[in-house]
Structure 1
Amino acid sequence: MKASFACSIAAILFAATAAHAGTEDEVKVQFGKFIAAQNAHDLKAVGEFLLNSPQFLWITRNTPVWGRDAALKRFEENYKGTWLLEPKLEEIKVSELSAGAAQLFVPAVFTIAPPGQTAQPRNFLLTQTYVRTADGWRLATILPFPIP
């Protein structure tokens, strides 16, 4: 009986580890595609990554932007100037918060400026929350934290 209990525990732990590894890989792939769409200033593609909900939250320049539509309007304005996001991909961390929810953390260099202004690279810690929907992983929050 002890052996079968130990085998059951091992199977559960293996399944949990495999599920986490699957979630981590899936979220990393989604993040990479999202960054590529942002750097290409592809508003349509960026919109496909955002959770289509009024509860979507993006904090930008200390201002909350609520909802997918409002975020897309803000991205559209930002894309008129300089916009380049360079995450340190080798430092990505993904934590599975629960089944169907994951948190991504990555340091990044962000170069942004309005049209006609000189852009300066700035360091950020980028945190994103992803939720699994019927259409795949979608971004529910984007929370960048500037660092010196």
Structure 2
Amino acid sequence: MIDKPDPISISAADIEEIRNLFLRQAAGETAQDIRVIESVLARTPPGQPDPVNFVARAYRFWGREAVIDHFRTVFKGTWRFEPDEDEIRILPLGPDTAHIYAPTRITVGAAGEESATYNFLVNEIAIRTAEGWRISAIVPVPAQ
């Protein structure tokens, strides 16, 4: 009998690349750098469905450009994204897909208004693309 590779596994190097991608995203969000957001989100070849989405309790954005536009809007005010780096978990879902889990403090405030900090359990999906690992889905869940 021939051993077949585990269809769910990804390498330790993949795990590290995904973690670094997420931390780059977090730093880019806190710096309010839209170019970083553009660089971490997945792109698809022409004719392929756009896998990028951002689903939260208050809103849903479908497609890469809609998600980027959302960040352009929130970056006009206060926005800090601070994951608990010791609690980040990368869970393989397949050879080209992984789930990122990160308890995260997010500080938000409209321009000129007082900001507030909330705790979220951020869930993201990373996919392997021709450009390397990229973020496909962002789902922040409010924590208590």
Pick from 101, 104, 115: which aligns with 2:111?
115
Pick from 68, 71, 91: which aligns with 2:67?
71
> Matches of 1:129 and 1:41 in 2, distance apart?
21
Amino acid in the other structure paired with 1:145: V
Identify which of structures 1 and 2 has the higher relative contact order when contacts are C-alpha pairs closer than 8 Å and 6+ apart. 2
Consecutive unaligned residues in structure 1, runs of 5 or more: none
Q: 1:45-70: CA deviations, max 9, x gaps?
A: 21111112533110245211011111
Secondary structure of the equivalent of 1:28?
Answer: helix
Consecutive unaligned residues in structure 2, runs of 5 or more: 45-49
Pick from 121, 125, 137: which aligns with 2:121?
125
**Aligned: 1:51 with 2:42:** yes
TM-score (norm 2): 0.87
State the shift of 1:96 in Å. Answer: 0.6
Q: 1:29-53: CA deviations, max 9, x gaps?
A: 1111111111111112211111125
Amino acid in the other structure paired with 2:14: T
Aligned length: 138
> Matches of 2:102 and 2:37 in 1, distance apart?
19
Secondary structure of the equivalent of 2:61?
Answer: strand
Q: Runs in 1 of length 4+ with deviation above 3 angstroms?
A: none
TM-score (norm 1): 0.84
**Aligned: 1:145 with 2:136:** no
Alpha carbons 2:24, 2:36 under 8 Å: kept: no
Which one is further off, 93-102 or 19-28? 19-28
Identity across aligned pairs (percent)?
Answer: 28
Q: 1:71-115: CA deviations, max 9, x gaps?
A: 111101100000001100000111010001000001011101111
Decide which structure has greater helix share.
1
**Aligned: 1:135 with 2:131:** yes
The equivalent of 2:47 in structure 1 is none
> Matches of 2:118 and 2:85 in 1, distance apart?
17
Amino acid in the other structure paired with 2:93: L
> Matches of 2:109 and 2:68 in 1, distance apart?
17
Larger Rg: 1
Alpha carbons 1:23, 1:96 under 8 Å: kept: no
